[in-house]
Amino acid sequence: MSRARLLPTLGIVCAALLPCLAGCGFHLQGRAPLPKAFKVSYIEAKDRQSDFVQGLRKALLINGAQLAQASTDASAVVHVLHDELSERVLAVSPTNLPREYELTYTVRFSVSAGAADLLTAQEVSATRDFSFDEHVLLAKDNEEAILRQALAHDLVDVVMRRLSSL
């Protein structure tokens, strides 16, 4: 096929596929349309500075929600009932020093709008393991912090998908 005929053909194919992409539910990563009930949202949590709560706050803002200063001003309230990071030793060396840890981030949440429960209490968790070496303690502490943030980010994604499906 000559170049003169290839470009118009390519343009027609792209134009034909454009409505398919628009109607298939495709969204940029991190963006999902939220129901109208979340237009003004409030996050109720004991620890408002945890990685999960901070990530959820940011995700709600990115997806078009406004955050209220009080639950009475909000059209929807996300109740973070449990927000915990636990650490467990998976393997030890012959000298009884830890060699591998498992991090588990667990969040339990519910959602209400006024007196109605939009989502009953649900629990989500994510787990990752990492090796440990006392000779590179600073690097391993940094690795643990990065994993903790990644786990919180994964849980925020799960919660946002559930919120957008309401």
Q: Which two tokens stand for residue 61?
A: 């803002």
pLDDT tens-place values along the chain, 166 residues long: 555 666 666 666 666 666 655 555 544 555 667 888 889 999 999 999 999 999 999 999 999 899 999 999 999 999 999 999 999 988 888 888 888 989 999 999 999 998 889 999 999 999 999 887 776 666 777 888 899 999 999 999 999 999 988 8
Q: Provide the terminal-to-terminal Cα distance of the chain, rounded to the nearest Å.
A: 50
Domains and CATH numbers, the chain: 29-164 (3.30.160.150)
> pTM of the predicted model, to two decimals?
0.75
What is the C-alpha to C-alpha distance for residues 127 and 86, in angstroms, rounded to an integer?
Answer: 9
